[in-house]
Amino acid sequence: MAQSDWVNIFKEKIQELGRRDRWWIEFDNNINSTEPGWENYIRNTFARFCCSQCRHTWASAQVPVLFHMKLDALEGRGTVKVRCCKQECKKCLTPNLEQPQVSEENITVLMDKLMLKIRKKCYNENVGENTTRFFIAGNLDGPHESGHCEGCRLGICSRGGVSS
């Protein structure tokens, strides 16, 4: 899905919160797990990939999505930064990091989970956990290969200890 789809789903979910603060979402491939003044949320999702060199396709249920969120209560503005971790093709000798293709259903699940984190971390609400599961479409080809995972390199992948 395109970034505009992420933005539209985010706007819909933020509106459902019923808060007066204005929130926006931006994509930032440079954020890491520790950025002063920002609240972190890391969640794995399912996504599909296509190699830009050899056209090989694969699916992964271990795709870290890093969210940073910050509310400026005085200004009534909130920002969410998103980084979807990429993966490399295991068939190419010099692979590129490929962008994940996350389905609309899984973006919606991610946004529902993010809204709970915003309520908890930015508004100090006592909320439960969202137990909605991600949708897995297609076959998963064996174990997670940390040597091809950007999230593992950044130290934010929950499977970072699994060998290639």
- pLDDT tens for residues 107-158? 999 999 999 999 999 999 988 777 777 777 766 677 788 889 999 999 888 7
Query: What pLDDT, on a 0 to 100 scale, did the predictor assign at position 128?
Result: 78
What is the per-residue pLDDT for 160?
59
Query: What mean pLDDT do residues 41-65 have?
Result: 95
Tell me the pairing of strands 77-84 and 22-27.
parallel
pTM score, whole prediction: 0.87
Length of the chain in terms of residues written: 164
pLDDT for res 164: 31
Which of these, 163, 158, 133, lies nearest to 146 by C-alpha position?
Answer: 163
Helices (H), the chain: 3-17, 104-121, 150-154
Residue 162 has pLDDT above 60, yes or no: no
Query: Looking at residue 129, what is its pLDDT?
Result: 75
| Closest listed residue to residue 85, CA positions, set 133, 31, 37, 38 | 31
Instruction: Beginning with the edge strand found earlier in the chain, give each strand of the sheet holding 22-27 in spatial order.
Output: 22-27, 77-84, 57-72, 39-50
Cα–Cα distance measured from residue 119 to residue 141, given in angstroms and rounded to the nearest whole number: 36
Q: What percent of the chain has pLDDT over 90?
A: 73
Smallest Cα–Cα separation from 64: which of 49, 42, 82, 48?
42
- Cα–Cα distance between 97 and 148 in angstroms, integer? 8
Mean of pLDDT over the chain: 89
pLDDT at 6 over 70: yes
